């Protein structure tokens, strides 16, 4: 089996991918300083469920950060054992924020808008989005990957494609050549996006779905699991089936109140 340095290509040097390149470099050749847990960035996980559990483990494996604080207003305790400080109260979160420097948004499913807007708020108060790239994924050196993306095991980004910030490429998903993937997109496990496809901001491509070449998936659209998309998908619509057909309007779920409280 190839080592981590062989399994993951070195990304190009450009503003959006700089931190991802550093994360991969540390995973491939951890120095004594990187191994020293006290020298790793203290990380806030926004979310405390299954996604957070995976992210916490990836931080450990990649040697790029230590989970120091977990915030999730929807639960009483995190869904996994952790030594990190957990809170579901905004006041406590605000008090502990000076102790962290980086963050990962652990909001998955079709909630890309919430993921993106939460990230923007945390960046506004000075925290740094931390990208996560699994060692078995492949990102071609001509591709561009935005801030805070999560690239899961065995996912592929082919030549000249562009991935917007806070996008999730889940396990075994493939982005073929010259695609443009917007901000806050979720390409779910084993989904395949063919060449020269444009996916709008906050769209979701369901598990095992296929999008044929040269198509456009509109902003906020949802493509159902297993669908085969043969024509453009309009913004904020849900499509499913083979071939994919319109089902209903897509709804955006985003609770602004918590971010408003954080800004006070």
Cα separation, 22 vs 185, whole angstroms:
23
- 39: which DSSP letter? G
Catalytic residue among 177, 186, 214, 255: 177
Q: Which residues contact 213 (CB under 8 A, 6 or more apart)?
A: 176, 194, 195, 196, 197
Q: Is 236 a catalytic residue?
A: no
Q: What residue ranges in 134-199 does DSSP mark as E strands?
A: 138-139, 144-145, 150-151, 156-157, 162-163, 168-169, 174-175, 180-181, 186-187, 192-193, 198-199
For residue 36, the tally of other CB atoms under 10 A from its CB is 11
The two tokens of residue 65 are: 């950060």
- Helix, strand, coil fractions of the chain, as percent rounded to 5: 25, 25, 50
212-216 contacts at long range (C-beta below 8 A, 24 or more positions apart) = 213/176
Q: What is the radius of gyration, based on Cα positions, of the chain?
A: 18
Residue pair 116/164 in contact (Cβ under 8 Å)? The answer is no
Beta bridge partners of 205: 187, 223
DSSP element (H, E) containing 257:
helix 256-263
Alpha-carbon separation of residue 230 from 35, 36, 50, 169, 200 (angstroms): 48, 51, 33, 21, 16
Active centre residues (catalytic): 177
């Amino acid at each position: 089996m190839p080592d981590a340095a062989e399994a993951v290509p070195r990304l190009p040097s450009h503003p959006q991918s700089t931190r991802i390149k550093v994360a991969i470099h540390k995973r491939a050749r951890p120095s004594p300083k990187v191994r020293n847990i006290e020298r790793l960035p203290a990380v806030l996980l926004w979310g405390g469920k299954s996604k957070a559990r995976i992210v916490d483990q990836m931080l450990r494996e990649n040697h790029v950060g230590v989970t120091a604080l977990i915030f999730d207003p929807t639960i009483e305790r995190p869904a996994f054992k952790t030594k990190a400080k957990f809170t579901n109260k905004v006041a406590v979160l605000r008090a502990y924020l000076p102790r962290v420097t980086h963050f990962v948004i652990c909001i998955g499913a079709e909630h890309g808008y919430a993921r993106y807007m939460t990230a923007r708020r945390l960046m506004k108060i000075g925290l740094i989005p931390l990208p996560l790239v699994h060692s078995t994924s492949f990102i071609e050196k001509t591709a561009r990957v935005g801030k805070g993306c999560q690239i899961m095991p065995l996912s592929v980004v082919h030549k000249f494609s562009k991935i917007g910030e806070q996008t999730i490429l889940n396990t075994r998903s493939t982005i073929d050549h010259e695609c443009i993937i917007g901000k806050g997109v979720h390409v779910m496990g084993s989904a395949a996006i063919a060449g020269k496809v444009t996916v709008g901001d906050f769209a979701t491509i369901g598990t095992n779905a296929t999008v044929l070449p040269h198509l456009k998936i509109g902003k906020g659209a949802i493509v159902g699991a297993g669908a085969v998309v043969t024509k453009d998908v309009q913004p904020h619509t849900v499509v499913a089936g083979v071939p994919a057909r319109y089902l209903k309007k897509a709804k955006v779920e985003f609770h602004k109140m918590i971010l408003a409280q954080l800004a006070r």
